[in-house]
Amino acid sequence: MSKFYEIVQYGMGGVGRALFGLVVQHAPEIKERLGINLRYRAIVDSTHALHIDLNSAMNQQYMQYLWARLKPEVGERISEQTGAVQKPSELSILATELDRIRSEDSAAKLVVVDTSGASDSAMTPVLTSALRQGHCAVLANKRPLCGPIEDFRQMASASGLGMARLRYETTAGAALPVVSTLRMLLDSFDQINEISGCFSGTLGYLATELENGRKYSEIVADAKAQGYTEPDPRDDLGGVDVARKALILARSLGMGIELSEVTVEALYPDSLSSLSVPEFMARLPEVDEYYAGLAAKAAEKGETLRYIAIVSGKGLTVGLQSVPKDSQIGRLRGTDNIVVFKTRRYDPNPMVIQGRGAGPEVTASGVLADIISFGR
């Protein structure tokens, strides 16, 4: 029997557009191979929304027509599409879709997909509300999982037993199977003693390229252009993005920790913290020399810099460390992440997951896998 999942997607940046392209291009094959009908009901960016009527959503030609305009190389905005409306609020977009699906008397489930960079206050009510009404949610956006712990618990409990209708694989390690592995270990009654590693594609890329002698300012600009960084690269460089990932893993383990309890170490000076993003990017050369010096100092000792996170019963720590070049972490290259699970069963040798941890294409593939997992 065919299953119907209908996507309401917030966020049409790098990851959002890559996901839209994947779904539009592969929906017929997904239906044929897996018996899962995926279609778009609405796409939303920071200012506008496009509600897609079902006839159009089922019409592959119309979806291809939209993709031809929205794909990154063309880059049209939602506001430029026929039928787009100015966004009243994130929640009202969902309300419109819930009304529509009720009036259709449909057996389809909505999947609210958050590929935005929106705040937790904007997105948490949307996601929790959809989950409470029996629908599904998939997040690439970490913020809604990093608000007050009570909000996280409400979202989790709204998503059914074992968080059955909530997926957020790409919030830690992009498409690497980190969250699903954590769930698998917990479901099979292992005991996770520690999760550690390098959780940032941007900081991995920065560290490797500093090692190669490139300038800090050029590396950060390049990471932004490639879509590795957060909308504001200071989230990456300041360690907050790593802290969010560690917090999401800690909360998934049942720890009641707040983001404010995690101490981070910033890889840019305080003097650049209150600038706009373009101003920040323009002033990066001011710190080139300092970070070249740090990298050179580590190299003199046969070491390299890595930004390391540890989640354990003692809490969360994240920060810059100098590690031997020929260690497992020292050998990481580019945007690769490494996540090490030390558990009762994986002892003394831990379970290790390693691979690309950032980039729009790879992240979109993880979001699509999350969506499809509801229908399996």
Ligand X SMILES: NC(=O)C1=CN([C@@H]2O[C@H](COP(=O)(O)OP(=O)(O)OC[C@H]3O[C@@H](n4cnc5c(N)ncnc54)[C@H](O)[C@@H]3O)[C@@H](O)[C@H]2O)C=CC1
For the annotated catalytic residues, the residue numbers are: 245
40 pairs with which residues across the strands? 7
Any known ligand binding at 366? no
Query: Which residues in the chain belong to E strands, given as ranges?
Result: 3-10, 36-44, 48-51, 85-86, 109-114, 136-139, 166-167, 192-198, 303-312, 315-324, 336-343, 351-356
Residues 128-187 contacting ligand LTNE7NMQ, CB under 6 A: 174
Give the nearest residue (CB) to ligand X: 13
Any known ligand binding at 142? yes
- CA–CA gap between residue 173 and residue 186 (Å, rounded): 19
Any known ligand binding at 150? no
Residues 6+ apart with CB under 8 A from 222: 205, 209
Any known ligand binding at 13? yes
Q: Which stretch binds ligand X (CB under 6 A): 13-21, 203-211, 336-344, 345-353?
A: 13-21
Rounded least distance, CB 141 to ligand X, Å: 4
b vs e for 34-68, b when ≥16 Cβ sit within 10 Å of the residue's Cβ?
eebbbbbbbbbbbebbbbbeeebbeeeeebeebbe
Nearer to ligand LTNE7NMQ, 241 or 370 (CB): 241
Q: DSSP secondary-structure letter at 205?
A: H
Q: What is the x/- site pattern for ligand LTNE7NMQ, positions 193-232, by CB under 6 A?
A: -------xxx-------------------------xxx--
Backbone CA torsion sign across 131, 162, 248, 354: negative
354 binds ligand LTNE7NMQ, rule: CB under 6 A? no
Token couple for 86: 């100015």
Residues 233-252 contacting ligand LTNE7NMQ, CB under 6 A: 236, 241
Residue type, position 25, single letter? Q
- Give, to the nearest 10 degrees, the angle between helix 288-300 and helix 216-225: 100
Rounded least distance, CB 200 to ligand X, Å: 10
Any known ligand binding at 334? no
Q: What is the x/- site pattern for ligand X, positions 156-185, by CB under 6 A?
A: --------------x---x-----------
Residues 77-106 contacting ligand X, CB under 6 A: 90
| Binder of ligand X out of 117, 197, 239, 330 (CB under 6 A) | 117
Q: Please report the DSSP string for 309-363 in residue order.
A: EEEETTEEEEEEEEEETTSTTTT--TTEEEEEEEESSS-SSPEEEEEE---HHHH
Rounded least distance, CB 130 to ligand LTNE7NMQ, Å: 23
Three-state secondary-structure class, residue 110: strand
Any known ligand binding at 194? no
Closest C-alpha among 353, 76, 96 to residue 199: 353
360 binds ligand X, rule: CB under 6 A? yes
116 binds ligand LTNE7NMQ, rule: CB under 6 A? no
| Binder of ligand X out of 8, 359, 371, 374 (CB under 6 A) | 359
239 binds ligand X, rule: CB under 6 A? no
- What, of ligand X, ligand LTNE7NMQ, none, does residue 202 touch, CB below 5 to 8 Å by kind? ligand LTNE7NMQ
**Which strands sit side by side in the sheet containing 3-10, from one edge to the other?**
85-86, 48-51, 36-44, 3-10, 109-114, 136-139, 166-167
| Binder of ligand X out of 4, 21, 34, 46 (CB under 6 A) | 46
Q: Which stretch binds ligand X (CB under 6 A): 44-52, 57-65, 180-188, 261-269?
A: 44-52
Binding residues (CB under 6 A) for ligand LTNE7NMQ: these are: 174, 200-202, 228-230, 236, 241, 357-358
